[in-house]
Structure 1
């Protein structure tokens, strides 16, 4: 029997598909935590506005990624470290074991499946805290796999190397910042072969030598670089050669050096400005993307300095404002050009590990208890909704194809219409 699809229905489907946006890395399409999707839910609960819930084989704090009808995420399964592929219908497509020997961190804080995967729409790359780095196609066929610890030295870091590699053009970049000899590495994404490696020098001491942040790539008209973050410095490198371009330090509280302060929050860069967070009780600075050399305390390269840092969640830049979600759930809003604080307001007074995400005129802030606070962006503070799933979460929200995806320690949730 021939099925005739009404023209209006076909056109609606094509338009909807054309405007659907993928989420290829843990901070979204441009590593900004920003989505252009519209008509997203503001309110939900465990039994309201839920398309589906898929139980996970184990816990993880990694953020999923989405490309068309494929969702990729890392997890533990007993003692195995696995990459999973799930359809946007909530059905698991495949899983691949990339290693074993999971290590739980500080009880409920996380484990070896903390780094998030990345995709270019044809392949997916995944990394685990044990050093396993691999590339798969969308059918789950392994293209290559390497042991990063075997190639570049054993990781010496208190809570595991949880940094997510960043994918850009034909390379995937890793920051290996720990006490065993910090390195920055560029890998050819198609082959797994080394493109370049450079030692990452620092005068950091003890636990300050460690980093749990992730690198970013900035590719503006005025500057292009890989920015690594940890061991007391943000350091920018040439994408093709690994040569150092600039570094900024002085991020610890002035006059006292705390050897336990390690970086967790990752920087964000947009429109010629880099927002550089630091460690707990530290500062946040805004510096110019066109910087050169060691710019520490060189005022001509700074836009402003703010005396508070988010510590764990990464900053968000929206228009002329910068948003800092503190570890305690307080939201700080600053003027982008001047750094002037407009407000600091309480949202959900619980640990916040996830980074803020913006879409559809709303900012989503995710607490460790699973509550997502939806905030109106702008110069005045307003909570639009607070939504609870009742499951712990450390991963950041993911937005794609009209849905919000939340990866709790127990399950993957698709929020939106069925």
Structure 2
């Protein structure tokens, strides 16, 4: 009898261990928010297809009611995606096994197109923690307001408010596309915008922390710069940096990049010099220098893109990263006179991949900034950010052609997969062993 009880206990412990392992793996395989679990565009999944079409290796295709550039968020069997549906802005829950729509909720109306239809109000990506999902929509004529909302997994609204009512009227030419950061019990937002008048002195943005379950403001701080005109407008997203020693929020826009403390929002460090020394009186100062691409981080460094023909910087996350760090040799590791403009840099091991908007891929050494290669891929406008999975780099052109590169120092195109002309501006993601591609017309689940 004792021997039987011993075996039962051993079996129960074994089952518990297996269950814990599967639970841990499942958590790691979700894609809870913009740029994934590590906020770095990297998936640990294996055996992801490198070749596909609109039918080959397609588990399912789920139609969408309208366009949007937001990537999905995935947790277990739930996939969440935002979209325009005529004038309405909606949140859709989809079953990851079948592609069936579980429910659709109208969050607000007032969809507005931008850049001749290239973008719209459904640009910020949703975020989820396994129980709730958060969405952020810019809306209204000239994008003067924005709605932030929280829903549960049954589609019930938990809270919702107009960000403009609480933090001031939004004034940004192509809409507030920034995706909030979800971390522990809070949401973090960067609200960087301002009037499109050359002589306007309104140069203050805001950084905000909210209670994720109630929407209540925990803190809001002003972020002052001397940026003018369109330079005040940032379409980039904030990110949380954490390496075990330091933890802070990265905010990018208005001619500079800043780090902020999570407890009270105070500014910890500032990197300037991104736009002609941040001096509007400088003849080289570009009045249209608005950031779209966001910083990337990894291996103890932050890679800071700018826009257009501006530079890219890399800074060291060390004990010297505090206060004004512009030109500080112990902090600024390197700079190059090229930048991806729209796509977020991708850091894998000791290399940085910069996807330029014309489809050229530039690979540089993370430590030194030395160029490894700069090669042309598919020649078309690229709006998506690259993804790394299982030794490969995935990215898509606006015309629906998705390129797969072999990661590493040797440039090698593994595949070019044509989605039959379906427009793509959203970035590819991988969750629970499946590659998801969001086009203007539908959502594809790709797996072997």
In the alignment, what sits opposite 1:264?
A: 292
State TM-score, norm by structure 1. 0.94
**Counterparts of 1:160-175 in structure 2 under 5 Å?**
160-175=175-190
Take 1:323 and 1:303, find their aligned partners in 2: how far apart are those partners? 17
In the alignment, what sits opposite 1:283?
A: 311
In the alignment, what sits opposite 1:372?
A: 402
Take 2:107 and 2:32, find their aligned partners in 1: how far apart are those partners? 20
Question: Is the aligned partner of 1:355 residue 2:385?
Answer: yes
CA displacement at 1:314 relative to structure 2: 0.1
> Given that residues 185 and 213 in structure 2 are in contact (C-alpha distance below 8 angstroms), is that contact kept between their aligned partners in structure 1?
yes
In the alignment, what sits opposite 1:401?
A: 432
> Given that residues 253 and 281 in structure 1 are in contact (C-alpha distance below 8 angstroms), is that contact kept between their aligned partners in structure 2?
no
> Given that residues 26 and 396 in structure 1 are in contact (C-alpha distance below 8 angstroms), is that contact kept between their aligned partners in structure 2?
no
- Equivalent residue for 2:61, pick from 50, 53, 62: 53
Aligned length: 406
Gap regions ≥5 residues in structure 2: 1-14, 140-145, 196-203, 278-282
Matched position secondary structure for 2:135? strand
- Cα deviation per residue 1:107-134 (whole Å; 9 max; x = unaligned)? 2311001000011111111100131111
Take 2:115 and 2:307, find their aligned partners in 1: how far apart are those partners? 18
Specify the structure having the higher radius of gyration (Cα).
2
CA displacement at 1:271 relative to structure 2: 2.6
Take 1:96 and 1:384, find their aligned partners in 2: how far apart are those partners? 39
In the alignment, what sits opposite 2:157?
A: 142
Take 1:324 and 1:346, find their aligned partners in 2: how far apart are those partners? 12
State TM-score, norm by structure 2. 0.88
- Equivalent residue for 2:105, pick from 82, 96, 109: 96
Aligned-residue Cα RMSD (Å) equals 1.6
- Equivalent residue for 2:134, pick from 120, 125, 128: 125
Take 2:184 and 2:269, find their aligned partners in 1: how far apart are those partners? 22
- Cα deviation per residue 1:282-319 (whole Å; 9 max; x = unaligned)? 01100122310111122221111111000000001111
Matched position secondary structure for 2:302? strand
Matched position secondary structure for 1:149? helix
In the alignment, what sits opposite 1:341?
A: 371
In the alignment, what sits opposite 2:116?
A: 107
Question: Is the aligned partner of 1:231 residue 2:239?
Answer: no
- Cα deviation per residue 1:354-407 (whole Å; 9 max; x = unaligned)? 100000111002111111100001111000000011200111001012211111
In the alignment, what sits opposite 1:25?
A: 33
Most deviating of 144-153 and 178-187: 178-187
> Given that residues 42 and 387 in structure 2 are in contact (C-alpha distance below 8 angstroms), is that contact kept between their aligned partners in structure 1?
yes
